[in-house]
Amino acid sequence: MSGPRRFFVPRAEEETLLEGEEFEHAKNVLRLCVGDEAVLLDNSGKEYSAVVSEVGKRSMKLHVLRVNEGDREAATEVALLFGYLKNADKNEFVVQKATELGVKKIAAFSSAYSSAYMNENKLERLNRVARESAKQCLRSVAPEVQYFPTLEGALRSAAECRNKLFACEFAERSEADLLSLSGSTAVAVGSEGGFSREEEALAKSLGYSSVTLGKRILRAETAAVALTSVVMFALGELGLDGGRAEAKEEKR
């Protein structure tokens, strides 16, 4: 990635301290010194161009020179709800790719066929992956990764979305036209074992439409990224129609 390095901070001000892991990375890995430029991000959607003014043992002070609005965020809100997977690398892959695709909300959940265990350290690791991915793809906002111990909790967390899609391997047909989507969209994808028919019934009772991903059974991480990509394309977020996303958002 070219250009000034990017760092997330709790709050960007005229004089901002870089501390913790971001400081350690800036000082010990990137070896930033006084006078070096950086971009500060505080999840407000703004980008703060700054210069290093002081380097200490536990923190680095940066002076903000100017503030710009970030222009890499998706025009339409998309939430990805995915069944927590047994392999940590696969969970990180899903979070990384969803962030790159522009998803604004990510929720992992446990369901009937889940067999993985979540804890605070694993959740913080996923949020760290989201922040690093956001920096890499030049987003100004890193989606927060949440965890829900039940599928119902995850499904209800996206209740405000206009479209609610439930990826189901035993669905005979899709109940929603994926290529004509407009407005905010929630995408729910299961873990390695998929969903049960009782879970599909629950999702439908909460306003979700079952969708099929074709004749082949996809790995859970593949299904999450594939369906998210299709949704982003339908909403005009993959660059093939520059004004499509904005036009659809107006109809939300």
Let me know: does 70 contact 140? Beta carbons within 8 Å: yes
One CATH from 3.40.1280.10, 3.40.50.2300, 3.40.605.10, 3.30.70.2190 for 78-250: 3.40.1280.10
For 140-190, how does the pLDDT look when each residue is reduced to its tens digit (9 = 90+)?
999 999 999 999 999 999 999 999 999 988 877 888 888 889 999 999 998
H or E element at residue 209: strand 209-211
- Which residue in this structure is represented by tokens 């391997």? 169
Q: What is the CATH number of domain 5-69?
A: 2.40.240.20
Q: Where are the domains of the chain?
A: 5-69, 78-250
Give residue 117's pLDDT band: very low, low, confident or very high (50, 70, 90).
confident
pLDDT at site 245: 47
- Whether the model clears a pTM of 0.85, i.e. scores above it, the answer is yes
The neighbouring-strand residues paired with 37 are 51
- Fold: same for 5-69 and 78-250: no
**Cross-sheet strand order for the sheet of 5-8:** 5-8, 37-41, 46-55, 59-69, 15-19
